[in-house]
Amino acid sequence: MVSQSTRVAIIGGGMGGLTAAIALTRIAGVDVTVFEQASRLGEVGAGVTVAPNAARVLDALGVLDRIRSLGAVPDGHGVYLDAMGGLVTDAAWEDSAKRYQNIGMYRPDLIGALAAEVDPERIRLGHRLRSVEPLGSGVRLAFENGVEEDFDAVIGADGIHSVVRKSVDQHPDPVYSGYIVYRGVVDASRLPENWPMISQVWMGDSRHFMCYPLQQRKLFNFVAGIPSDRPLNGPWSGSAEVSELAAEFAGDGWDPRLQSFIAAIERTFWWGLFDHEPLTNWSNGPITLLGDAAHTMLPHQGQGVNQAIEDSMALATFLAAADGVDGIPEAFRRYAAVRMQRTAILQNGSRRAGAMFDAQYEFANLEKRDADIRVGRDFRRGAVFDYDAQKVAEQALTRFRRIPA
């Protein structure tokens, strides 16, 4: 087993990196240091969904109650709607046992809740990674502020433009998908009276709009997917005019209720959506990847953050069983072998979900689109929400131990 003196660096202080720090400390018992390039923890104020499969992990780590107290559990099933607001199907945002439900989280709240579970001495801000150098045993990290430090292992949780990934896999960088999203939050008091406290998705010609409650229902998150070539000519995110967003959903072809929601928006930002084919390798000796660095994923199934949380549990489980420091590379290979298949399926599923929402390709036939969404409702619950990352990793460890050396 690895010991408390085993030093592991996590590059990236986002939701995946912080969850990994909690899991590695509590399950593997190693000495963790998180390096974050920003001068403070936190993200632009928008929402994220903690899905049942991630809630199960957070429960096992002992942090779910804190997160629930800050988030918003919807009143019931969400709904998928056509452009004019007609019901296509409901959306069962819970696991089969109905123990875990979707939790709408304001991103800064989730970052804060996770950071509160990590020793502040273990988080170093203002450290932008410059390079990763494998040593005879361990890894040397060099940062742009001049700091150099050696660790027994390093985990790249540094997002879609990961520096760590370049030391593991020489795949090209993620590519622009041809879509942007407008994102932000709305004060719930600005919405029409009796606005439903559930998730709602309007699906129209080449675009869609989603909203759901956050922060004990004081806020509503919104995400609107729009085709655009904007990120090809400059930055991949920035502030936007609400009027730009409103224009995309104006006219008689869109539900007046949706338009009333957009009228309540005071501020919005845009992000380019990037995609990546599944990587063929996540690990290189004592170096491995986690979250977006490993499996850049479109947001249409709401699984990006949730897969990073699953990764964290699986990684900690395999590392806890490593045969000392020398066993870390094998533990990382086993982790990647188990996680790569799961995340590749969801990467492809997220692309397909986006095509359905926006009536693209074969889903231009709206009857087929609506039928597929109805079928996917129950599949998502069983295949996605019922998944137990800790149990799967433990079962895999048992299989690996049966393989002759």
Q: Report the catalytic residues.
A: 212
Is 31 exposed, middle or buried (CB count within 10 Å of its CB: 0-12, 13-18, 19+)?
Answer: middle
Q: In sequence order, what E strands does 68-146 have?
A: 78-82, 87-91, 103-106, 123-124, 129-134, 139-143
CB 397 within 8 A of CB 331: no
Give the H/E segment covering residue 394: helix 389-402
Distance CA 207, CA 245 (A): 11
3-state secondary structure 193-241: CCCCCCCEEEEECCEEEEEEEEHHHCEEEEEEEEECCHHHHCCCEEEEC
> By the 8 A CB rule, do 314 and 392 touch?
yes
For residue 336, give the 3-state DSSP assignment. helix
For the chain, report the end-to-end CA distance as a whole number of angstroms: 17
H helix intervals, 84-227: 107-115
Sign of the C-alpha dihedral computed for residues 114, 299, 131 and 41 taken in this order:
negative
Q: What are phi and psi of 32, to 5 degrees?
A: -105, 140
Enumerate residues 6+ apart whose C-beta is below 8 A from 333.
283
> Nearest-5° angle of CA 100, CA 102, CA 103?
105
- DSSP secondary structure code for residue 41 in this structure: S
Strand order in the sheet with 153-156: 123-124, 31-35, 7-11, 153-156, 287-289
By DSSP bridging, strand 219-227 and strand 103-106 are: unpaired
Q: Tell me how crowded residue 286 is: count the other CB atoms within 10 A of its CB.
A: 22
